[in-house]
Structure 1
Amino acid sequence: MADRTSSSITIKADRAEVMAVIADLESYPRWASGIREFTVQETGPDGRASLARLTFDGGPFSDTVGLSYRWEGDERVRWELVEQGGVVTGLHGSYLLTEEDGGTEVTYELAVDVRVPMIGMVRRKAEKRIIDSALKGLKRHVEG
């Protein structure tokens, strides 16, 4: 899983406000298209999720997976697959938040492996669609 897809967007809010929305995993179904359910199973000392279960509906694929999270203050969060689903066999992602004049630049990186054979170009295109949709939903939710 060497190849990652990434994209960025600028949100008119401070970094702490944006990270608070990102850290509220259980609210994702309200603003992130394709996310049906997010359940926090364990939290760390900072009160943020350390282990969660995600159910998504991504067009031709629906799945439920287990993810572990590592939080770096309000600057970055990384997650990785700890429980495979029926389709997803590997997953690594992160949000990096950088303060800018008048807002926060949010960079989302994602790499997904699936059981179904898929050429790299098609996989990256699917990752890009997931990332862009998530970033737009995050921006609408935070700024709205």
Structure 2
Amino acid sequence: MAVSGTTEFDVAATPAQVFDAVAAIEDLPQRSSAHKSATVESRHDDGRPKRVRAKVAAAGFTDEEVTDYTWDEPHSVTWTLAESSVQSTQVATYTLTPTDGGTHVKLDLEIGVKVPMPGFVLKRVLKSALDTGSKSFKAYVEGR
């Protein structure tokens, strides 16, 4: 089973600053309570993260996930699940639009699991991830 959702928010930072915040993978545990650790395993030629390994805990499960990042600066960044023992799907995209006061950010997220999980629990995990990816991320970007 997979669920998806979208949230939008404004950040008082330039698109370049938002991209730099996404690229700060080592700070994931500081801005996301689900992330217990995160490391960059490989980088694109421009130095941006390409493959990331993270330990996450959500809905009573602990998982080690590997995600691949695709950067389309200055428009978007997408990460896609490459490996996981719990998740079957994870695709997320931040789409950025410059504004007079900073950047409008749209977060699209789809998650799915391999393990049996009631739909309402998976939807709760999705809501938590969208909140973290918007409210917590906004606070992180603006506090840098």
Give how far 1:81 is off: 1.2
User: 1:79 matched to which residue of 2?
Assistant: 79
> Which letter maps to 2:79?
W
1:46-74 deviations in Å (ceiling 9; x for gaps): 11111111111224222111111110013
- Per-residue CA deviations over 1:80-128 (Å, capped at 9, x if unaligned) read 111122x112211111111112021111111111122345554333212
* 1:89 alignment counterpart: 88
More displaced stretch, 52-61 vs 112-121: 112-121
Instruction: Report the aligned-residue RMSD.
Output: 1.8
Contact 2:59–2:125 under 8 Å retained in 1: no
Which AA in structure 2 matches 1:70?
A: T
Runs (4+) off by over 6 Å: none
| 5+ residue gaps, structure 1 | none
Distance 1:127 1:3, change over 3 A: closer
Provide the aligned length of Structure 1 versus Structure 2: 143
* Structure 1 residues 120-139: aligned runs within 5 Å: 120=119, 122-139=121-138
Partner of 1:108: 107
**Could you give the per-residue CA deviations for residues 10-29 of structure 1, whole angstroms, max 9, x where no partner exists?**
11111111110011111111
* TM-score computed with the length of structure 2 as normaliser: 0.88
8 Å CA contact 2:2–2:111 kept in 1: the answer is: no
Instruction: Determine the C-alpha separation between the residues in 2 that align with 1:33 and 1:69.
Output: 21
Q: Which moved more, 1:45-54 or 1:25-34?
A: 25-34
8 Å contact kept, 1:57–1:63 = yes
Higher mean alpha-carbon deviation, 50-59 vs 63-72, is at 50-59
8 Å CA contact retained: 1:5, 1:124: no
What does residue 70 of structure 2 align with?
A: 70
Classify the secondary structure of the residue corresponding to 1:4. strand
Q: What CA distance in whole angstroms lies between the structure 1 residues aligned with 2:81 and 2:45?
A: 21
Pair 118,57 (structure 1): closer, same or farther in 2 beyond 3 Å: closer
Match of 1:22 in 2: 22
Q: Which amino acid aligns with 1:37?
A: S
- Cα gap change, 1:38/1:74 in structure 2, threshold over 3 Å: closer, same or farther? farther
Paired-residue identity, %: 32
